[in-house]
Amino acid sequence: MRYEVNAPATAGTESQVVVYEHRDARDTAGILAEALAGLDDASGIQLWIRGATAGDDEAAWSHGFEPYRDLWQLRCRLPAEPSGLATRAFSIDDLDEFVAVNNRAFHWHPEQGGLTAADVRDRMAEPWFDADGFRLHHRDGRLAGFCWTKVHSDHDPPLGEIYVIALDPDFSGRGLGGPMTLAGLEWLSEHGLDTGMLYVESDNHPANAVYRRIGFEHHHTDRAYRRPPG
């Protein structure tokens, strides 16, 4: 599959086109022409190009799209240094507190913000979900932070992802970001993974500083573009 087209979920929302990696950048213009053919852009179209390059930017511009967001994939070798942080596995009894902390931490985020208990239950039903790899850290009787991991067993070699990580804003500034990340990497390493991976906004400078100190390096960029409604 070279691309995917997703119709708007509700009236007035954007269509989405996703162009996948493992392509020649010279093919992107043709892929876009094929993907966009007949697509109604009355509510606008969001385009994601996985593993974007300068040539992809030119192809997107030729179809009227402008870039507005870069999502970096970072990778590191495992094992990383020990976290030194006490964590435990997620249980269903943690659901409401997790949702509250998540939404406080990600109130600004276009995908992770506004999470509901039903959303979490849906992800728990996915075959990749492992509650033991969903690490929670408590302080003063409260959920201070979490590191939710995901194993991509279909990747060759398998990848261990830091799927979602956050601190309750009340506990920010206490140096917990690095240890919380390392706690997730520690769990992945203990379960046979030798490569860690995560996605981060390119302009999230505090998070990127933490990840660089741990040993993460940029692997590729997924870039989002928008075209105004026609």
* pLDDT tens digits in sequence order for the chain, 230 residues long: 899 998 776 656 788 999 999 888 789 999 999 999 978 776 689 999 999 998 999 999 999 999 999 999 999 999 999 999 999 999 999 999 999 999 999 999 999 999 999 999 999 999 999 999 999 999 999 999 999 999 999 999 999 999 999 999 999 999 999 999 999 999 999 999 999 999 999 999 999 999 999 999 999 999 999 987 76
- Cα 122 to Cα 116: distance, rounded to the nearest angstrom: 10
Within its chain, how far is the Cα of 98 from the centroid? 18
Residue bearing tokens 């659901």: 95
pTM above threshold 0.75 = yes
In this structure, the number of other CB atoms found within 10 A of the CB of residue 189 comes to: 19
Task: List, in order, residues 6 or more apart from 158 with CB less than 8 Å away.
Answer: 151, 152, 192, 193, 195
Say how far residue 47 (Cα) sits from the centre of its chain: 16
